[in-house]
Amino acid sequence: MNSRLINLSALFFVGTVARLADAQGVNLAPANATDPLRAPPPDAATSATGPATANDNTVTVDEKKSAGGAPAQGSVAASTTTAQTTNAPGATAAPSESGDEGPLAMGLAPFIPPASKLPSGATPNYEHSKRIDDWHFDFHGYLNLPLVVGLHNRKNAYEGQQKLSLHTPPRIPGDLESFDYTGLMPTPYAQLNFSYGNSFVAATVIIAARSVTDATAYFNPPDQMGINNAYLTFKLLNKSNDKIYLDVGAFANRYGIMGEYDLGRYGTPLIAKMGGMGTTATGRFTRGDLRFMGEAGIMGQLNKAPVGEEPGSWNGYSDPNTGTSFILHGHGSVDYKRRASLALHGIYTFVQDDRVAPSQKDGHISILGAETRFSVGRFGHLYLGYANTSAIDARGVSSVIRVLNTKGGPGLMSEYLGPNSGGTGSLNTLGFEYDISLGNLLRSPGHFNGRAPDVSLGAFGIFTAISSNDKAYDSKKKFKYGLEGAYSMASWFAVGGRYDRVLADMDDMTRTHSIATARLIFRSDWQSNDQVMLSYSRLFNGSSVWVKEGNPPVYSPTIVPDADVVSLIATMWW
């Protein structure tokens, strides 16, 4: 009943907004939308990094860019946001002489979905249109809908049972919050972005879900996230070379974005993700060939789990011994001609809450990060990053901060520092990702617009070293890496493959597993906003590779992981 009420309410809300927009003459379609089955004009830019006409009264894509293509923190404002397709890394336009365009920045905007790079080499990209009329409504979204089936042979099939067993979700290593996570087999995700504003201020509301109710046999309330973000963006300064934005409300910041336009192959911020209620100010200042960016903010939470609350699936296994936590953060970066950038990050998360266990210490998590990226046209895009995470008595730090997808101090203890660490220890993490388009490379010095056969290649990896008060976890080292390729042979069809290797403990090869994947990719056009992928993955699991299962999910040494996985994944963005 609750799920139906939620769905009906959402439909009523969308319908009402659409009717109001129609009554006011507001177009819900992107201002520069084209028929996805028709080719753009020969001189049209094919990615959001292409030239854009700046206007002091318009929020345009060149004003703030996130991690290579998506508008950065605070850039949802007065004008329409257009979801485009970029045949990354090949189909990118060169920076204009004004120096306002480019794919380099510090973090990912709160309205950008938490999407990994699509296997075809295409990446959803969100661009602000050039509309200058005040007070208008905008609607965009992202859907990722996978059916992922694990195949397993029963050891003892009884009468009336088939030898082959099918699992959804599959029994495989790689829980989202674990280091084993590769992003290769995603879970469902839907996101709807609504914004309304003018050239100075805009309100954004994001509705999101990690499941689709009619497709589930078990209803898990936390998967229906509801209003996930709601915030105001103020454009305080909007000169051609000097811009300052202020976000106020509930939103997320993500830093250490390994992809050029997205979270990268692993779908994991290398440095940190923070989500809560607060404010973030962002400034960008261009001087000649150099662009300087600074960002700072404070973030807290609306509530905490009450004392005596029993953790359960219905409340997301909330922990009453985590207190209301707060974040202070600051970031700075400089880039040269939108081709090379260097960024530094400092994040401090702390808890001082007396509504936890009487003897529990106040704790904190400090993060220092540095990253550089090179976006060099035909030679592709390279990301290199480093993060030092230091936790002191962090047992009570909440999920306001997430390191490598783990939730606060308890998540760090569960996956890295150990249950006997008291939340004290550190991680030193390195990450890299490289992408190149052979179509772009071989057609140089001409411009490749992505509307022709292409081969895209990528290499990526993350390494982390652990120091912990828990001797069983101290000095552990983890490493994962992978290779991916895709051949777009027709406007509607591509083939691809990927190889992943995960070393959960570099001193114990029995905890290592590898995944080989083959893919068939279908879409409506070269640079359409949709694709359907059919894939097969073969897993090679070490004898000590464990998977999570149960309520709550815990690692079980008795479960034999599935060796074969078949996936059907539909994706669209607008």
Tokens of 348: 């401090």
Q: What is the pLDDT of residue 396?
A: 96
Phi first, then psi: what are they for 78, rounded to 5°? -75, -20
**Using 50, 70 and 90 to split pLDDT, how confident is the model at 127?**
low
**Which pLDDT value is given to residue 308?**
85
Give the model's pLDDT for residue 334.
97
Query: Residues 116, 262: contact at Cβ < 8 Å?
Result: yes
User: Phi/psi of residue 181, each to 5°?
Assistant: -65, 130
- At 497 the pLDDT is 97
**Averaged pLDDT for residues 494-517:** 97
Q: Which residue has the tokens 């905007």?
A: 109
Output b/e per residue, 503-535; b: 16+ Cβ within 10 A: bbbeeeeebbbebebebebebbbbbebbbebeb
- pLDDT for 111 equals 76
In whole angstroms, how large is the CA radius of gyration of the chain? 23
Question: How many whole angstroms from its chain centre is CA 444?
Answer: 31
pLDDT per residue over 49-91, tens digit each? 333 333 333 333 333 333 333 333 333 333 333 444 444 434 4
Is a pLDDT exceeding 80 seen at residue 199? Answer: yes
H or E segment to which residue 227 belongs: strand 226-238
pLDDT at residue 14 above 50? Answer: no
In this prediction, residues 415-425 reach a mean pLDDT of 96
Residue 536 has pLDDT above 90, yes or no: yes
> According to the model, what pLDDT value does residue 94 have?
37
- Name the one residue in this structure whose structure tokens are 């990896």: 461
pLDDT tens profile 299-344: 999 999 898 888 888 888 889 999 999 999 999 999 999 899 999 9
| 290 or 6, higher pLDDT | 290
pLDDT in tens, 96-107: 333 344 446 677
Report the alpha-carbon distance of residue 444 to residue 452 in Å, rounded.
14
Say what the alpha-carbon torsion angle 242, 247, 248, 249 is, to the nearest 10 degrees. 180
pLDDT, position 16: 45
Residue 217 has pLDDT above 50, yes or no: yes
Q: How far is 90 from 121, CA to CA, in rounded Å?
A: 9
> DSSP letters of 339-402?
TEEEEEEEEEEEE--SSS-TTPPP-EEEEEEEEEEEE-GGG-EEEEEEEEEEEESGGG--TTEE
2-36+48-302+320-573 CATH: 2.40.170.10
What would the two tokens of residue 545 be? 């590779």
pTM: 0.81
Contacts of 403 (CB under 8 A, 6+ apart): 272, 365, 367, 387, 389, 411, 412, 427
Instruction: Respond yes or no on whether the N-terminal peptide bond of residue 113 is cis (omega within 30° of 0).
Output: no
E strands along 239-339, which residues?
242-255, 272-287, 290-300, 325-336
pLDDT tens across 456-485, in order?
Answer: 999 999 999 999 999 999 999 999 999 999
224: helix, strand or coil: coil
Cβ-based burial of 49 (10 A; exposed 0-12, middle 13-18, buried ≥19): buried
Stretch 426-432: mean pLDDT, rounded? 98
Q: Are 541 and 563 in contact (CB under 8 A)?
A: yes
Please name the residue ranges forming H helices in 224-373.
Answer: none
**pLDDT tens by residue, 372-393:** 999 988 899 999 999 999 999 9
Q: What is the pLDDT of residue 123?
A: 62
Q: Are 74 and 248 in contact (CB under 8 A)?
A: no
- Please write the tens of the pLDDT for every residue from 248-295: 999 999 999 999 888 999 999 999 999 999 999 999 999 999 999 999
List phi, psi (to 5°) of 570. Answer: -110, 135
Average pLDDT, the chain: 83
Average pLDDT over residues 545-567: 91
Question: Beta partners for 192?
Answer: 141, 207
Whether the CB-CB separation of 465 and 495 falls below 8 Å is answered with no
* Secondary structure (3-state) at 11: helix
